[in-house]
Structure 1
Amino acid sequence: MDSRRIVLLGATGYTGQRVLRELLKRGAEPTLVGRSRARMRAVADRFGADLPVAEADLTSAADLSRLLEPSDVVVSTVGPFMELGMATVTAAARAGAHYLDSTGEGTFARFVFELDSVAAARGATLVPAFGYDYVPGNLAGALALTRAGERARHVDIGYFITRSGPGDPLRYRSTLRDAWTLTTGGTRQTLVGAAAEEGFAYRPPRPGAPSRLVDERAAKRVRMFHYAGVRRATMTVPGSEHLGLPEAFPQLESVEVGLGWFGRWTRPVQIAAALQAPLLRSARVRSALTRLSGRLPGAHREPDRDGRSLVIAVARDSSGRYLARTALTGPDPYEMTGSLLAWGAVWAAAPDVVLKPGAHGPVAAFGLDTLALGAAEAGVHEVADAPGSRR
């Protein structure tokens, strides 16, 4: 029995090229899909690969549906996803094709989960945010919750960027400069767009009520993590952990995800996000900011090569008491995303692999043990609890 066909959308972009490189390393020969046959062939030639290519309107579900088959594994890196990604995942769900993407947009991940019944009826498995956003947080959260046992009711997850080089990277203190020099322009545009979107959280809507997904703006709260002697601030963001972890751990009462890229500037950035959110809901304002950000010094430079990732998850009981913590380290967010998506696609394409149909988080879709092995292959490893870490 042959492996499924892997269909890669966005191979000409920064993240897409990293995914393509990792797929080729694993012996895969993906079909490249995009708007320009010439650009896709040029990318394939750059990697020394003779790959099939197909032109398609990536904003047309009907166009993509004619291309996709039930045995396909679709990998999309085409964003912003709320603008450009809906047609692809809708077409994959209707076709019965498995689907993975690189989105960091929580609102889009929520949209994907709303396709659960369509995907399940056709045997498709949809797993959004299968990169740095938000596989390591799902994995760290699941490991911490598993170790905490049945008493676990709350999990807090923090995402941080560090740098390699002299000194212990676990003790590195992120700065506002890192949020600029360790990310791409596309990532920064996504962050601006996220500030304008309605976010969500997983918690009881009122005291005594059952927990569920509730609407909540991004950056509503600042939460602190104490790890390796460093006090790290995060501001809350909507992630796929809110959608996937309660499925795997139904006893959960709350899931909190925080972005800790800004160091001591976290609180000012949070306040600025709250003040600017009403303005950013205007498409004209967002467009103007996008043009402005593209003219700033260093706007089109590639991220620094010494970036690293750190993700921390803390499980607590119903009273908020500490039960367990897991910390994962890995390569920079883009290298991690390329490796995770390539691993996930090759795994899902294997003829003897059966994934759970429907829309799921990575733990429910792949299983915790399998996901941990895949993450390790992508360079994501657990680190022992560091000295100076507080509960």
Structure 2
Amino acid sequence: MSSCSHQPTWQADGVRRRIVVIGATGRTGRMVSRELAGEGRLLLVGRSPESLGALGRELDCPVQVARLEELGGVLEPGDVVVSTVGPYDLVGDQVVTAAIASACTYVDVTGEPRFLERIYDDHGPEAGRHGVMLLPAAGYEFVPGHLLAHRAATAARGDARTVEIAYLADGGLQAGSASGRRSLVRAMTRSTRTFRDGMVRREPVGERRSSFRTTAGRRSTVSIGGAEVWTLRQHFPELTAIDVHSGWFGPLGPAVTVGGQLTRPLRLVRGDWVLDRALALLGDGPEEGLAEGTSRFVARCRDERGRVITRREAVAGNAIVLAARLAAATADRLAQRDLRDLPTGATDPIGVFGIDGLAEICAWAGLVELDDGP
């Protein structure tokens, strides 16, 4: 994460800043837009005049038809940009670049490790030099993990050396969008970052398997990497390992591990491209599925001997709905903040809102923290 004393000349000075939703007509974009409608200045941006016009009329919001390469003519200094485009690994960089060039605050809901790598390693320093804040992964991935890991590490009172975080979902994923499934494919067919033995390492997704105890039983997981790999060390320098896992695959975890090992040959024969195109043609899943499913999150800390010493758990409803509500709440609160109060460069939700502010956002979005011990 980076910081810089330079700030854009535009300041809020008590005036609510405009929120601009990029990709407003996609599944997640529509949900974020509906959450934000009526909360203040809002602009919906998309490529389809028909779909965008219909959404604008539904929400009584202004709209702007624009391609990603035209965002420079749409954005204004001080805007809060919410990027819901995807897959981020394919098109996300264009939105980040436009936000930095236009002196906008940037938010997204990515869960793609390689895109996060570019956010923190490449775009972050550039944003810092321009006095701009980037807040990636402000949805299901990876906001709850930050909250629970902070809770668990704080309770460990300096004795935590390893933090392990699990993102779990019981049902409801059939309602995912085509771009969301494409993002998942790209995430699973590219290497990720992890932090182990005090060093940042690169490894295939699914390299390691584990299991986590939850109030609904034990869940099998595979390693995926996440934003916490970059951010938690800033808050807890005593950590020597940060491990982020997904339990979406259940008993198919071993297959994910094997698939991770085949990442390089799969990409060499363009197998990932073929699957990406097939998923794009399938379209979005049924919206009825958004009313189903339970999201679960666990964070646990181990001491230097590997013993679990603290543990925290939280639950919410459908993972896709939770992602949209978290992103909307994040953007809404940022729109009320003066730029001079924000960090610059690529940051994390704890660095922006503090742990109490982050807990309020999560609670509003429907995340319920459970009482639990080691």
TM over 0.5: yes
Query: Is 1:85 aligned to 2:60, yes or no?
Result: no
Q: Which residue pairs with 2:303 in the alignment?
A: 317
How far the C-alpha of 1:338 sits from its partner, in A, is 1.2
In 2, distance between residues paired with 1:286 and 1:229? 34
SS where residue 252 of structure 1 aligns? coil
Return the offset for 1:301. Answer: 2.9
Structure 2: which amino acid aligns with 1:45? R
Report the CA distance between 1:180 and its aligned residue. Answer: 5.6
Mapped partners of 1:90, 1:336: distance in 2: 27
Alignment CA distance shift 1:350-1:110 (3 Å): same
1:260-304 Cα deviation digits (max 9, x unpaired) = 0122222233223433x12432484223223444677x9743335
**Residue 28 (structure 2) aligns with:** 15
> Which residue number in structure 2 is paired with residue 359 of structure 1?
346
Q: Which residue number in structure 1 is paired with residue 102 of structure 2?
A: 95
In the alignment, structure 1 segments of 5+ residues that lack a partner are 163-177, 205-210
In 2: Cα distance, 1:36 partner to 1:283 partner: 33
Aligned counterpart, 2:286: 301
8 A Cα contact 1:136 1:311, kept in partner: yes
- Does the aligned pair in 2 maintain the 1:293–1:299 contact within 8 Å? no
Deviates more, 1:133-142 or 1:108-117: 108-117
Residues 3-22 of structure 1 deviation map (CA, whole Å, 9 limit, x = unaligned): 11111101100011110111
Aligned partner of 1:156 in structure 2 is 164
Distance 1:362 1:280, change over 3 A: farther
Q: How does 1:1-391 map to 2 (within 5 A)?
A: 1-24=14-37, 27-47=39-59, 49=60, 51-58=61-68, 60=69, 63-114=70-121, 115-162=123-170, 178=171, 181=174, 183-204=176-197, 211-228=198-215, 230-275=217-262, 277-282=263-268, 284-293=270-279, 300-302=285-287, 303=289, 305-352=291-338, 354-385=341-372
Letter in 1 for 2:34: R
Q: How many residues get paired?
A: 358
Contact (CA 8 Å) 2:175, 2:286: kept in 1 or not?
Answer: no
How far, CA to CA, are the matches of 2:18 and 2:150 in structure 1? 30
Looking at structure 1, the residues matched to 56 and 301 of structure 2 have their Cα atoms a distance apart, in angstroms, of 44
Partner deviation per Cα, 1:296-317 (whole Å, 9 max, x = no partner): 7x97433352211100000111
Following the alignment from structure 1 to structure 2, what is the Cα–Cα distance between the partners of residues 331 and 96?
35
**Distance in 2, Cα, partners of 1:90 & 1:83:** 13
The separation in 1 between residues aligned to 2:91 and 2:104, in whole angstroms, is 19
- Aligned equivalents of 2:353 and 2:24: distance in 1? 24
Query: What percentage of aligned pairs have identical amino acids?
Result: 35
Distance 1:112 1:357 in 2: 13
Distance 1:87 1:180 in 2: 28
SS at structure 2 position matched to 1:280:
helix
User: Distance in 1 between the 2:77 and 2:127 partners?
Assistant: 11
CA contact (8 A) 1:94 1:118 kept: no
Which deviates more from structure 2 when the two are superposed, residues 329-338 or residues 179-188? Answer: 179-188
Is the 8 Å Cα contact of residues 5 and 30 (structure 1) preserved in structure 2? Answer: yes
Provide the secondary structure at the position in 2 that maps to 1:264: helix
* 1:217-238: CA deviation from partner (whole Å, max 9, x where unpaired): 1110001112337221110002
Relative to structure 1, the CA distance from residue 319 to residue 70 in structure 2 (aligned partners, 3 Å threshold; closer, same or farther) is: farther
Judge conservation of contact 2:172–2:290 (CA < 8 Å) in 1: no
Partners of 1:304 and 1:16 lie apart in 2 by 14
2:3: which partner in 1? none
Counterparts of 1:322 and 1:39, CA distance in 2: 50
Shift of 1:70: 2.4
Distance 1:57 1:358, change over 3 A: same
- Contact 1:179 1:261 survives alignment (8 Å): no
Q: Which moved more, 1:181-190 or 1:343-352?
A: 181-190
Name the SS for the 1:74 alignment partner: strand
2: CA distance between counterparts of 1:191 and 1:321? Answer: 32
CA–CA distance in structure 2, aligned partners of residues 9 and 283 of structure 1? 33
Structure 2 CA distance for aligned equivalents of residues 228 and 343 of structure 1: 27
For the residues of structure 1 that align with 2:359 and 2:269, how far apart are their CA atoms? 40
Q: Is the 8 A contact 1:107 1:238 kept in 2?
A: no
In 2, the alpha carbon distance for the partners of 1:363 and 1:266 equals 31
3-state DSSP of counterpart to 1:329: strand
| Aligned-partner Cα distance in 2 for 1:366–1:94 | 24
SS of the residue 2:296 aligns to: strand
| CA deviation after TM superposition for structure 1 residue 193, in Å | 1.3
Cα deviation for residue 245 of structure 1 reads 1.0
